Structure 1
Amino acid sequence: MKLGIISDTHITSTSKKDQIKALFEQLEGAFKGVDKIIHAGDVSEEFFLNKLKNIAPITCVKGNVDNIESLEQFVKISHGRYNIGVIHILPENLEEFMKEYDLNIIIFGHTHIPLIKGTKFNTLLVNPGSPTEPKSPPQKPGFLKPVARPSVITLNIDENDVMSTFIITLKI
């Protein structure tokens, strides 16, 4: 199973049409061959989800700026031995939440900063950042200042339950 993961698109009907078109051209390339698209919230308007469905089936959760009534706050999907939770904002007690829902992977948004990180309690955190309003991670001492780049993520789980995941920088 290959997932295309996106969040924090903040696309509205008043967004510039040429920007929406450029974004979809990039997403079609980045998500080529995915089995499902996961949107971790802050879609803004439902028409954007309908456009994403032209690329692949979609699962989406409600973000803090979404007014789409059909969206849930949290969704759990499973594939092979992996349980994947999708939520917009990480809960305060992440370890307890992961154990309560028996999650191996949690996909989230809200920060607009891409992240792929293992935790001390043997789970994977995945945040695709934002393709439209990216933010850079905080600067670490001794390192150059990070640059905010529009991004999405792909996550692949093969027939042997081997997982690989990649941050894809978009050229928007």
Structure 2
Amino acid sequence: MLIGVISDTHGLLRPEALAALRGVEHILHAGDVGDVAILDALRKIAPVTAIRGNVDTSGACAELPATDVVELGGQLFYLVHSVHDLDINPKAAGVAMVVSGHSHKAKVEVKDGVVYFNPGSAGPRRFSLPVTVGFVTVEDGVEASVMELVVG
């Protein structure tokens, strides 16, 4: 199973991000959506699980949950916008991957057998950080990768 992971769009859904995500079977949005129309556009590609971030304070995005758990390909994914707000013990809960955003810095690390994945930011460029989306392959476990988008 191939899962697309996106975060920190801040109201900007780049055509390059849409193109990169085509063909995934599910999309996880780790918050700071900025505009509910982004989720509608992503749903045209695949089902979406999304949470709110710190900029999602009004409108439909404010109605999104602060955290969520979804089972995909037999694996549990826990979404939280800032990993610093993690409010569960992922290993004890049987979570395979914690998906977060907020920092705009892509990162994949394994702690105590749990993969922690931040796909970086696909929205407006922040500082000199790259614009990125992520992918998760679910087979005999979970494997995450980051794709830098070439944007004008």
**TM beyond 0.5:** yes
Deviation digits for residues 2-50 of structure 1 (CA, Å, limit 9, x no counterpart)? 11000001016xxxxxxx5xx12x1233112101110000001211111
CA contact (8 A) 1:7 1:128 kept: yes
What's the RMSD between the two structures over aligned residues?
2.2
Corresponding position: 1:116 with 2:98: no
Corresponding position: 1:171 with 2:145: no
Structure 2 counterpart SS, 1:104: strand
Q: Which runs of 5+ in 2 are unaligned?
A: none
Cα distance between partner residues in 2 of 1:51 and 1:75:
20
Give the fraction of aligned pairs with identical amino acids, expressed as a percent: 27
Work out the number of aligned pairs and report it: 148
Cα distance between partner residues in 2 of 1:47 and 1:64:
18
CA distance change for structure 1 residues 112 and 134 in 2, over 3 Å: closer, same or farther? Answer: farther
CA distance change for structure 1 residues 107 and 134 in 2, over 3 Å: closer, same or farther? Answer: farther
TM-score by length of 2: 0.85
Cα distance between partner residues in 2 of 1:115 and 1:28:
21
CA contact (8 A) 1:113 1:134 kept: no
Corresponding position: 1:101 with 2:93: yes
**Over alpha carbons, which structure has the higher Rg?**
1
Q: Which residue of 1 aligns with 2:119?
A: 128
Q: Which has the higher strand share?
A: 2
Q: Which runs of 5+ in 1 are unaligned?
A: 13-19, 137-146
Structure 2 counterpart SS, 1:149: coil
TM-score by length of 1: 0.76
Q: CA deviation at 1:102?
A: 2.8
Corresponding position: 1:42 with 2:32: yes
Q: CA deviation at 1:69?
A: 3.8
Corresponding position: 1:29 with 2:8: no
What letter corresponds to residue 48 of structure 1 in structure 2?
A: I
Q: CA deviation at 1:93?
A: 6.5
